[in-house]
Structure 1
Amino acid sequence: MTASVPTVHTPLFYVVDDDQDDCLFVKMALSHHYRPSVVRTFQDGPSLLTHLTHLLDGRLPDLLVLDLDMPLLTGFELLTFLKQNSEYKTIPIVVVTGWEQRETMERCLALGASAYLPKKIVYHKPSATVDCLRPYWNSLGHQPLSSAQLLDVQDLPNN
């Protein structure tokens, strides 16, 4: 009788952003801090949905990083669709966007985002992206991060 060897779960990340530089930046940050991992990038919502509906990776991603300002389907539309669909609502979604208004953050969290990071924080402190994901990752994504764990909300304008 042979002992069963536990399988190692390689993290699978999806990054959805129409800006190729932003995709590359987030991909490099995730790949650097989570080794080994698989990071897939998508330029728009329809390409992500095609990949998800056909389950081309054989499973759902462990985490989806989402921009809001995209063509075809906005990040808000994509977030709403994913969180209202029983097949995808358990995917943790981190919004990484150039939109810095408190209202936008609150709307994303109300729609079901697990975390929200303005791009200026990500670019000025690249480790912030990974640091904000660490508590999520340690808890296997069962609890969304509180806004206090994401960023100092005092840095966001009220309008």
Structure 2
Amino acid sequence: MNILLIEDDQIEVLKFKRTIDSLEADHEIAISENGEEALRYLEELSGLPDIILLDLNMPKMSGLEFLSILKQDSRFKYLPTIILTTSINRNDLLSCYEIGIAGYILKPLKYNEYMERIRCLLTYWTNNELIKP
């Protein structure tokens, strides 16, 4: 799968890459540090990522702002976008689903739990008919 990870915390990026490496899966990962960078990346890309993993708390443009712009664009609105965040704010959760996300995953503190959640997430989306060629 082609994955776009939108995350400003470099430790979280390293944790995600380490998890992907441990799964020994053949996933391509593109990283954007904020929503503005991610929108530029999508505009310049010849194809589309299979899924987007999006943090909510980022500089320049929040995850919610990015999501609102993404889902208003006919080219991108059906891209499965999964929130990967530490926010337990119920309003964030509801706002994201209203805009049109495919999932909302809390980042656990323990690495083993994080790794298991990412493994389950990627297993599901690897088998999902929406992204199969």
TM-score (norm 2): 0.86
Q: Alpha-carbon deviation of 1:20?
A: 0.8
> In structure 2, do the counterparts of structure 1 residues 73 and 34 end up closer, same or farther at CA, with 3 Å as the change threshold?
farther
**Residue from 60, 71, 74 that aligns with 2:62:** 74
Choose 1 or 2 for highest CA Rg: 1
Q: Which residue of 2 aligns with 1:140?
A: 129
Q: Which residue of 2 aligns with 1:49?
A: 39
Q: Which residue of 2 aligns with 1:13?
A: 3
In the TM superposition, 1:39-118 aligns within 5 A as: 39-55=29-45, 58-118=46-106
Take 1:32 and 1:124, find their aligned partners in 2: how far apart are those partners? Answer: 11
How many percent of aligned residue pairs carry the same amino acid? 27
Q: Alpha-carbon deviation of 1:86?
A: 0.3
Q: Alpha-carbon deviation of 1:65?
A: 0.6
Q: Which residue of 2 aligns with 1:23?
A: 13
What amino acid sits opposite 1:116 in the alignment?
Answer: Y
Higher relative contact order (CA 8 A, sep 6+): 2
Q: Which residue of 2 aligns with 1:157?
A: none
Take 1:46 and 1:128, find their aligned partners in 2: how far apart are those partners? Answer: 27
Higher helix share: 2
Give unpaired runs (5+ residues) of structure 2: none
**SS of the counterpart of 2:108?**
helix
Q: Which runs of 4+ in 1 moved over 6 A?
A: none
Give unpaired runs (5+ residues) of structure 1: 1-10, 143-159
Q: Which residue of 1 aligns with 2:116?
A: 127
1:35 to 2:25 alignment: yes
Take 2:78 and 2:21, find their aligned partners in 1: how far apart are those partners? Answer: 22
